[in-house]
Amino acid sequence: MNTNHHLADVLQRFLPSYRQQYPLSYRQALTCQHILDCRTAKLGSQQWQCEACNYEQVQYCSCRDRHCPRCQGQKSQKWIAQQQSQVIHGRYFHLVFTLPHELNVISQYAPKALYSALFQAVWQTLSRFAANRNKHRGQLGLTTVLHTWGQTLSQHIHLHCLVPGGVLTAENKWVGVKGQYLYPVKALSTVFRAKMLQVLRTQQVEIPHTEALMAKSWCVYSKPCLNRPDTVIKYLARYTQKGMMHESRLTGMDNSHIKFSYKDYHQPGQTKEMRLTGVEFIRRYLQHILPKGFMRIRHYGYLANRCRRRKLALIKTQTERALQPEKTMDDKPLHGCWQCPECRTGLLKLVSLRLPTRCNVDALRSPLTG
């Protein structure tokens, strides 16, 4: 259900109360300022005019902050267009590596170390399996995406991995995987646990509840492989460009509380509603702000940036023809023009741009001051 509630409205109403109870880091403050200013006159405006009926429309500029829910839709479409040439024609596997909740406390004082260790441990785990499989021994390709949230915005740190169904051998030969699952999840869980704790010790991060962590089984989830290559790009965009919460999930707001919908994964197919105080909602949202410059999407193996173009060319010469995505709405031009809402025949084109004033730029450098 589409509503008129925006995250900026929530911050506008409850952020002052939140600041009276909790400290606000500079990174969190800057993100809040971006969201509050997104698509307002503070960031400048664009004037568009129809080439047929001269209808004019003013659009305010977006903040482009990766934590802003209003900026994720267009970003996702752009990303899909960029990735079309990098998809291998074949099956893909989706794995999810989840950290035990006992490690969540590390994200409060050393988030960059914890998240970096997670990326490193997952790649070391999958690389070890790829190197030790007799029938499919070689280098994997891996795209990983960090998520730190659950459906209710609680702390739920996990890494989504999308793996092409094959390896590149030392002789640059492509060997495809024929099974429905890539590797056994119980074995992955055991190796992942050892690798993660080893990386944390190497980085000299204090590990809480070490004995309990060693005794419990860590969660590694494997979904059945994707057999339709034409859906891979959109499937990947769903996880890579997904924000913490889409604003369509905000169902209600009053003077003290926020209501939002969420999926209950313990009861598949059921959508429920949660009611939180405005302060608690903001606290949950802001705990997922990533450190400055931290890359939440990373590529490994033959999909790594330094060798991807060369190795993908080798793989595609040995597989079927390169994937040709079906024509969809995403194939429409993303920049320059769109249909006029007045006459429905002409196209709106950009005619002028008004930049933000100097004082607004200075305000962004000193967030939420005054």
2-43 pLDDT tens trace: 457 899 999 999 999 999 999 999 999 999 999 999 999 889
pLDDT of residue 33: 94
**Residue 286, CB-side half-sphere exposure with 13 Å CA sphere:** 25
The residue among 96, 75, 213 whose CA lies nearest residue 158 is: 96
The token pair at 325 is 């995505």
Q: Using the Cα atoms of residue 72, residue 77, residue 80 and residue 81 in order, give the sign of their dihedral.
A: negative
Q: Which residue has the higher pLDDT, 340 or 238?
A: 340
pLDDT of residue 355: 84
pLDDT of residue 366: 47
The token pair at 169 is 């051998």
Centre a 10 Å sphere on the Cβ of residue 212 and count the other Cβ atoms it contains: 10
Q: What is the mean pLDDT of the chain?
A: 85
Whether the Cβ atoms of residue 47 and residue 349 lie closer than 8 Å to each other: no
Angle at 7 between CA 18 and CA 159, to 5 degrees: 90
Q: Check pLDDT > 70 for residue 173.
A: yes
Close Cβ partners of 332 (under 8 Å, ≥ 6 residues apart): none
Mean pLDDT of 292-318: 92
Mean pLDDT of 79-96: 79
Q: Check pLDDT > 80 for residue 370.
A: no
The token pair at 301 is 């193996």
pLDDT of residue 178: 81
Mean pLDDT of 47-71: 90
Q: 90-99, 274-283, 304-313 — which one is most confidently predicted on average?
A: 274-283
Could you give phi then psi for residue 142, rounded to 5 degrees? -145, 130
The token pair at 145 is 């995406």
pLDDT level of residue 196 (50, 70, 90 thresholds):
very high
Centre a 10 Å sphere on the Cβ of residue 17 and count the other Cβ atoms it contains: 14
% of the chain with per-residue pLDDT over 90: 57
The token pair at 13 is 């109403």
Whether the Cβ atoms of residue 45 and residue 59 lie closer than 8 Å to each other: yes
pLDDT of residue 125: 97
Three-class DSSP category at 252 = strand
**Distance (Å, rounded) from C-alpha 356 to C-alpha 351?**
17
Centre a 10 Å sphere on the Cβ of residue 168 and count the other Cβ atoms it contains: 23
Q: Check pLDDT > 50 for residue 359.
A: no
**Distance (Å, rounded) from C-alpha 114 to C-alpha 120?**
10
Q: Which residue has the higher pLDDT, 334 or 296?
A: 296
Q: Check pLDDT > 80 for residue 245.
A: yes
Q: Check pLDDT > 70 for residue 322.
A: no
**Distance (Å, rounded) from C-alpha 316 to C-alpha 87?**
9
Beta bridge partners of 56: 49
pLDDT level of residue 70 (50, 70, 90 thresholds):
confident
pLDDT of residue 336: 54
Whether the Cβ atoms of residue 225 and residue 180 lie closer than 8 Å to each other: yes
Whether the Cβ atoms of residue 136 and residue 182 lie closer than 8 Å to each other: no
Radius of gyration of the chain, Cα coordinates, nearest whole angstrom: 23
In the chain, what are the domain boundaries?
7-66+334-365, 73-244+292-329
pLDDT of residue 229: 56
Three-class DSSP category at 58 = strand
pLDDT of residue 116: 97
